[in-house]
Structure 1
Amino acid sequence: MGKQRGRVRTHSRRQLLRTAGIGLTGVLGGCLSSAQSPTPVSILSAGSLQHALENGLKPTVDVPLRVESHGSATVARLIDEGQRDPDIVAVADTALFDAPISPPWYSAFASNAVVLAYNPDTSGGQRMEEAGTERWYVPLVEDTVSLGRTDPDQDPLGYRTLFVLELASRYYDDAPDLRAVVPTREQRYPETGLLSQFETGSIDAAFAYRNMAVERGYDYVSLPNRIDLSDRRYADEWYSTTAYELPSGQRVEGGPIEYGAAIRTDTESVRSVFEQLTTGAYLDETGFVLGDRFPRFEGDVPGTVPTATQEE
């Protein structure tokens, strides 16, 4: 019951988009490959996308990619302060497209779920496995498991972990105030290196996105969907009752997880990569949560964006 390895199947609309996208990408890729030394397309992305982009997206496009990944709040800050100017930006929370960066349009292209990944080879990880979906918080409260999480000031996974803990306190009848009891500063690790702490023996378990556990083959405890931030049915009356204030003063409310991407350099090669990034099969294969609501466009989508990916 505690572990779940199944993947959500995509719906027919996304399959149609993907089919059209592959054809278009092939045409564009063929044109680009005929040129000498095509200019690399740069992507500044959320840390939870790094593995998927490097190992899933790169092999599907004919354009060289330069991928740089950080926590999404850091990604937004780097662009806002002029320290980075990528061709494509992809973040793990579309709220960051409201502030501090405000693209004229973007595509919401995938969801995710917060899970508790664990190392079954440690005594703490074994306790987490035994606790399962209904009692996972007990070893954390008893401090018998060394826990890893990310910094809420640097990326959405960090503040979503706090949302999960707060919602769990209300969901389970005998749970204490988990948001107050569980977090300590010593638990914080960069998102891009969080699960690698299993290899070093630094932690027994970590709050992570489902795709992070799936693509690395780690065991994980699935949380109820009223807690894991994956289900839109609980958006307004449940998830949104949690919040976190970033150092910038921006208040981020709890909500269903949505990844968003925007084009910053409008060229044929960038549009080709963007389409595969937002509709490619690699998303399903690496454990992201998809569905017929993706991709969804917000803002004034230019006519240069392939019509196969535009909301009808």
Structure 2
Amino acid sequence: MPTQRSGSDRFRSGDDASGVTRRGFLTAAGAVGAAGATGVSAALSGCVGSVGSVAGAEDGSGEPVSVLAAGSLQLAFSEGLRAAVDRSLRVECHGSVTAARLVDEGKRDPDIVALADTALFDGPLATDWHAEFATNALVVAYDEESAAGRRVGEADRWFDPVLAGEATLGRTDPDLDPLGYRTLFALDLASEYYDRPGLRKALVEPRQVYPETSLLSRFETGDLDVAVVYRSMAVDRGYDHVELPAAVDLGDPSRADEYAAMRYDLPSGETVRGAPVAYGAVARRDDDRVAETFDALVAGDYLADHGFALPESYPEYSGDVPRGLRR
């Protein structure tokens, strides 16, 4: 029977006191949404805000460093990264596919881009290099405050109550972010692992597909009983969750060949393949203010405090890295 946890013993301990409550997260998300409403399409479901005092641009700390990031990095950057740097940051979050497109189409010009899938640096956002800086895994979050959520948490196979129509499952849009297509990969892998043919088709409900931030909001408010999320998101927000088998959760590097059998075609024409979850970042300007922030972003222990895994070899650099940025 899968293990249910509130948080993750594998990555950190004693985080109950510092975790974000559901009500606290909703309050914070509302504030960020209000701050970022101007000039950002609601369809993108992004979050925009200044991390640190924007007044820093006037007090000698220089112009704020702009960071375009995956939505699953929002809390880690707004809390941990802010504490790790001495200058102001301006952070905007979207699904990683959307973020890559915004840069590729010239609609955003950030100093740093941090995405939840390093494959996106090959397309749609083509870069000469990137740094791989964190890993993650998929889990199934459930609402223990609802009877339906408790059924999922207590089930031998988490998906049985969903198949029986006793619980509603939410997921993110695979055309907007890696969590969406990774969820489809995980369902196909689960179909093989549990010898349950057609599991993905049976579980996928087109009406319950949302942008990442909308998925969390609906889960937080009880509109959904179950949601497929990253382990870091469950740890950050204190969600009760089911740990998936390594053969399913896309979190085991030793199973890369098994994951690679999965694939998804993006609307832009690129094909993404299954792989262990890996986050990557690239600095788009080679100057001291950006380099210092980039160093803190990719090498900071703050990521472990937010549920991400940090292999000893990280950060790992690929491609032709500017000398001033590879420290």
Specify the SS of the correspondent of 1:66.
strand
What amino acid maps onto 1:235 in structure 2?
A
- TM alignment of 1:255-274, pairs within 5 A: 255-274=275-294
CA contact (8 A) 1:69 1:192 kept: no
Shift of 1:245: 0.4
1:163 counterpart (173, 185, 202): 185
1:89 counterpart (108, 113, 132): 113
RMSD (CA atoms): 1.7
Cα displacement string for residues 135-168 of structure 1 (whole angstroms, at most 9, x for unaligned residues): 1121122221111110000000000000000000
Structure 1 residue ranges without an equivalent (≥5): 10-31, 308-312
Shift of 1:278: 0.7
Aligned to 2:3: 2
| Residue 61, structure 1, aligned to residue 119, structure 2 | no
Specify the SS of the correspondent of 1:196.
helix
Aligned to 1:222: 243
| Residue 145, structure 1, aligned to residue 148, structure 2 | no
Q: With a CA cutoff of 8 Å and minimum separation of 6, indicate the structure with the bigger relative contact order.
A: 1
Shift of 1:231: 0.6
CA contact (8 A) 1:50 1:192 kept: no
Aligned to 1:189: 210
Q: Give the TM-score normalised by structure 2.
A: 0.83
2:73 counterpart (27, 49, 59): 49
Rounded to whole Å, the distance in 1 between the matches of 2:165 and 2:74 is 31
| Residue 70, structure 1, aligned to residue 122, structure 2 | no
Shift of 1:222: 0.2
Specify the SS of the correspondent of 2:229.
strand
Q: 1:220 to 1:165 in 2, by over 3 A?
A: same
Rounded to whole Å, the distance in 1 between the matches of 2:276 and 2:311 is 13
1:252 counterpart (272, 288, 299): 272
CA contact (8 A) 2:57 2:63 kept: no
| Residue 290, structure 1, aligned to residue 291, structure 2 | no
Shift of 1:186: 1.4
Shift of 1:37: 5.1
Rounded to whole Å, the distance in 1 between the matches of 2:113 and 2:10 is 26
When the two structures are aligned, how many residues end up with a matched partner? 281
Shift of 1:102: 1.5
Specify the SS of the correspondent of 2:141.
strand
Rounded to whole Å, the distance in 1 between the matches of 2:310 and 2:184 is 24
- TM alignment of 1:170-185, pairs within 5 A: 170-173=192-195, 175-185=196-206
Shift of 1:295: 0.9
- Sequence identity of aligned pairs in percent? 52
Cα displacement string for residues 240-288 of structure 1 (whole angstroms, at most 9, x for unaligned residues): 1111100011111101011000001111111111111111111100001
What amino acid maps onto 1:152 in structure 2?
P
Q: Give the TM-score normalised by structure 1.
A: 0.86
Structure 2 residue ranges without an equivalent (≥5): 13-55
Rounded to whole Å, the distance in 2 between the matches of 1:34 and 1:45 is 25
Shift of 1:185: 1.5
| Residue 200, structure 1, aligned to residue 221, structure 2 | yes
Shift of 1:111: 0.6
Aligned to 2:34: none
Aligned to 1:24: none
Shift of 1:7: 3.0
Shift of 1:98: 0.4
What amino acid maps onto 1:179 in structure 2?
R
